[in-house]
Amino acid sequence: MARYLPRRRRRGKSRVIVNLPRAVICLVASVTLALAVHHGMEITAAERSPASVSTWKTFDRQQECIYHAIRTDLPKGASIYIDPNGGYAAQILAELSTLWAVPQPAPTSAGWKISEVPGIACSGVSLKVSRT
């Protein structure tokens, strides 16, 4: 059985100097945790506000409308081209067309071209479908 000797104080350093870095680390960690909790509560409150909920409802309706438009306007398994310069809208179109159409890397290998354009069909946007 191992026998542990009591800790000896470091030579020439008082207990305050030895424990001060520990106390500072604990204080910094506590402040950081409190700020993270406060920030999380602010973000949650902002996302649950009526304006934010209304914005997300509109976004969900747009996505659902585009999803149904893709399945209505394109034949199943169609090879499509989505212009990558569309940015976020192009990414959404690629996601919504998955399992229905087959995205192609170039317009020459696709039979259809789709894009999202301003319109009234889907709460401010519409799906534009054309043969290539």
The series of mean pLDDT values per 10 residues for the chain, 132 residues long, is 62 78 95 97 94 93 95 96 90 94 94 93 92 89
H or E stretch at 71: helix 50-73
Would residue 42 count as lying in a domain? no
**55 within some domain:** yes
pLDDT computed for residue 1 by the predictor: 58
Distance CA 59, CA 116 (A): 14
| Residue 115 included in any domain | yes
Flag whether 117 is in a domain. Answer: yes
Range of the domain at 63: 50-131
The answer to whether position 97 is within a domain reads yes
- Indicate the number of domains in the chain: 1
Long-range contact pairs involving 115-123 (C-beta distance under 8 Å, separation at least 24): 115/82, 115/83, 115/86, 115/89, 115/90, 116/66, 116/86, 116/89, 116/90, 116/92, 121/65, 121/69, 122/61, 122/62, 122/65, 122/66, 122/69, 123/58, 123/61, 123/62, 123/65
Is the residue at 7 inside a domain? no
Task: Quote the pLDDT of residue 94.
Answer: 94
Q: Does a structural domain hold residue 71?
A: yes
Whole-number pLDDT of residue 9: 57
What's the pLDDT at 17? Answer: 83
Does residue 25 belong to any structural domain of this protein? no
Element (H, E) at 7: none
Q: pLDDT at position 84, please?
A: 87
pLDDT value for 56: 93
